[in-house]
Amino acid sequence: MPPEAQERYALLIPALNEAETLGALLRQVPPDLFEQIIVVDNGSTDGTSQVAAGAGVCVVIEPRRGYGRACQAGIRSLRPEITAVAFMDADLSDDPSDLARLVRAFEEGGCDLLVGSRVLGGSEPGSLTSLQRFGNWLSTRLIRWLWGASFTDLGPMRIVRREVLERLQLTDYDYGWNVEMQAKAARLRLLAGEIAVKYRRRAGGKSKISGTLAGSVAAGWKILWTIYRCWRDDARWEKAQL
Ligand SMILES: Nc1nc2c(ncn2[C@@H]2O[C@H](COP(=O)(O)OP(=O)(O)OP(=O)(O)O)[C@@H](O)[C@H]2O)c(=O)[nH]1
Ligand SMILES: [Mg+2]
């Protein structure tokens, strides 16, 4: 690839009360892989922003809760030269040592979207609940059935081309963000793939979604609703063309 066409990567980390793990995580991110590292503090009360600022990364404050909202706020703060964005959770469930491999595979595959699959990677026992595994299986089956793209997971670690992010016009503000990205990429027949990544139980802090039944059910419901919404928009669009 000629130097002028080289990808320039940002890493975006949405964080809600993750001060316990964030410092160690940022120290493990491979140096020189990312031109910009953004931590979006989603209204934390535990000093998450201070930990991020102390590590010298870009801190964005998004006081309105929601994983998708945090991602949107981070995207609005990307520097102009950034061409691709990697995402990772802040609780050290994702392993920063997978990032270099993810970036390499993204580049070699010329992908629009590359998802790190925790199912292919063999996650640590207890890190993915049975409900999460079932939800992933069902959602990825639905995506394959509706739009023909094969995924095995809706994992948080991923890379997407910036220009694709703009095309996808993602609107989900919480748990539907990842699945909306995959469903819309499938619908547009973009070049999407997966690689195996590791996944562990969170290394500290409090569980917010998968650790509680209420959180899991809310997330699962929102994921299925988001797939339905993408399908419904498709059907409406097709009708308008007739
Ligand atoms: N739950 C939640 N997480 C957020 C929010 N904003 C940012 N995050 C971050 O999004 C990532 C995913 O949330 P987690 O709470 O780890 O969700 P999970 O991995 O399904 O479940 P647990 O690790 O068991 O809590 C973490 O880095 C959070 O800090 C938000 O509004 N709600
Ligand atoms: Mg987590």
Domain spans in the chain, listed from the N-terminal domain onward: 3-241
Q: What is the mean pLDDT of residues 3-27?
A: 92
Q: Are 83 and 57 in contact (CB under 8 A)?
A: no
Task: Give the model's pLDDT for residue 234.
Answer: 81
Task: Tell me the per-residue pLDDT of 158-213, one tens digit each, with 9 for 90 and over.
Answer: 999 999 999 999 999 999 999 999 999 999 999 999 999 999 999 999 888 888 88
Q: In ligand 1, which atom is closest to the CA atom of 91?
A: 27
Q: What is the mean pLDDT of residues 76-103?
A: 98
Task: Give the model's pLDDT for residue 30.
Answer: 96
Task: Give the model's pLDDT for residue 242.
Answer: 59
Long-range contacts of 142-148 (CB under 8 A, 24+ apart): 142/224, 142/227, 143/179, 143/182, 143/183, 143/186, 143/227, 146/183, 146/186, 146/227, 146/230, 146/231, 146/234, 147/183, 147/186, 147/187, 148/186
Q: In ligand 1, which atom is closest to the CA atom of 48?
A: 29
Q: Exposed, middle or buried: residue 242 (CB in 10 Å: 0-12, 13-18, 19+)?
A: exposed
How far out from the chain centre does Cα 228 lie? 20
Task: Give the model's pLDDT for residue 3.
Answer: 47
Ligand 1 close to Cβ of residue 42 (< 6 A): yes
Angle made by CA atoms 186, 189, 191, in degrees to the nearest 5? 90
Across the chain, what does the average pLDDT equal? 94
Which ligand is nearest the CA of 70, by number?
1
State residue 58 phi and psi, 5-degree precision. Answer: -75, 125
| 29 has pLDDT over 80 | yes
| 13 Cα: distance to centroid of ligand 1 (angstroms) | 10
Annotation: CATH topology of 3-241 = Spore Coat Polysaccharide Biosynthesis Protein SpsA; Chain A (3.90.550)
| 1 has pLDDT over 80 | no
Task: Tell me the per-residue pLDDT of 205-234, one tens digit each, with 9 for 90 and over.
Answer: 988 888 888 888 999 999 999 999 999 988
Ligand 1 close to Cβ of residue 185 (< 6 A): no
Of 18, 22, 44, 89, best ligand 1 pocket probe by most atoms within 8 Å of the beta carbon = 89
Task: Tell me the per-residue pLDDT of 182-196, one tens digit each, with 9 for 90 and over.
Answer: 999 999 999 999 999
User: What residues pack around ion ligand 2 (CB closer than 5 A)?
Assistant: 91, 93, 202
| 92 has pLDDT over 60 | yes
| 22 Cα: distance to centroid of ligand 2 (angstroms) | 12
| 142 has pLDDT over 70 | yes
Q: In ligand 1, which atom is closest to the CA atom of 62?
A: 6
Q: What is the mean pLDDT of residues 60-68?
A: 97
